[in-house]
Structure 1
Amino acid sequence: MVVDKSKALEKSKGFANEFREFIMRGNVMDLAVGVIIGGAFQSIINSLVNDIIMPVISVLTGGIDFSNWFVSLDGSKYSNLAAAQEAGAATLNYGVFITAVINFLLMALVIFCIVKSLNKVSEKVKKEQEEEAPATKICPHCKSEINIEATKCPCCTSDL
């Protein structure tokens, strides 16, 4: 069986060109930048939740540590999760799950508040820009004030 090398080469160049066009699209680049910034933003949100909000919640709940809430599946009693894991016992770590859910809800709340405030600022800027846009213009021929969207002057009927 003879393989036409020129067709195979054309296909590979076509695939490479297609891939390059795909990568260079604005949407893909925007997505890449968003993922990178999201990763950096995640560390800020994690620090806010773990270093500021969770200690306050810990004080309010009397220092409850959910991470040591577990059920040992071998029936033995252990003082904490680390001791159970050190003994090699299978454990159902529902406290770790509760902590993860609380962290998720706190992160979602923080992100919601940030996005809400950014949207409010964006809305305010947009309103200011809309208010600054003129609603009328001056006819260059008769100098009368006319609607900004007019294409013909109602006073002198000249084309604008």
Structure 2
Amino acid sequence: MKKTLEEFKAFALRGNVVDMAVGIIIGAAFGKIVSSLVGDILMPLLGLLLGGIHFNDLKFVIKSAVMDGSKIVSPEVALNYGNFIQTTIDFIIIAFAIFMMIKGISKLSFKKLEESPDAPPPPPDIQLLTEIRDLLKDEQKKG
């Protein structure tokens, strides 16, 4: 049991697990921000441009609610396609933002790799091919 706890501790405190947890927490907070941006800013503006439509109110009622005075006997059955449209727009914006972040991070990573002075030298055959290429370029410029 003690060995299992030690293995779990080593696993949980590894950098990748902690980084992943931080990423999930930040991702959830980012999702809330984007949902608010879409729901509170973009969709009202889009609704205004489309003639005052509130997307959350768009639905196709399959069966109306059955009421007995103020008491609901049977709730309404509806397809809430307006909410689906809003959620789809949320997803597209979040997916695009994540794509742009990953693209930016990848670009930075490749720059670091190219500029890294600690990078090991290429193998001798690659060095030789590079020298041959450079000599051929010089010959083409002269000729």
Asked whether the two chains share a fold, i.e. TM above 0.5, the reply is yes
Query: Distance in 1 between the 2:47 and 2:53 partners?
Result: 6
SS in 2 for 1:93: strand
Equivalent residue pairs, number = 118
TM-score (normalised: structure 1):
0.55
Q: Could you tell me the percent identity over the aligned residues?
A: 31
- In 1, Cα distance between equivalents of 2:114 and 2:3: 50
Q: 1:117 — aligned with what?
A: 100
The partner residue of 2:39 within 42, 46, 50 is: 50
Q: Structure 1: 5+ residue runs without aligned partners?
A: 1-11, 79-83, 135-147, 155-160
What TM-score do the two structures reach when normalised by structure 2?
A: 0.60
Question: Counterpart of 2:3 in 1: which secondary structure?
Answer: helix
- RMSD of aligned alpha carbons: 3.3
Q: 1:34 aligned to 2:23?
A: yes
Shift of 1:67: 4.0
Cα drift, residue 99 of structure 1 = 3.0
Pick the structure with greater CA Rg. Answer: 1
- One-letter code aligned to 2:71: A
Say which of 66, 88, 92 aligns to 1:105.
88
- Please give the alpha-carbon distance, in whole angstroms, between the structure 2 residues aligned to 1:59 and 1:33: 38
Larger helix fraction of residues: 2
- Superposed structure 1 runs of 4+ greater than 6 Å apart: none
* Offset at residue 113 of structure 1 (A): 2.7
Distance 1:149 1:19, change over 3 A: closer
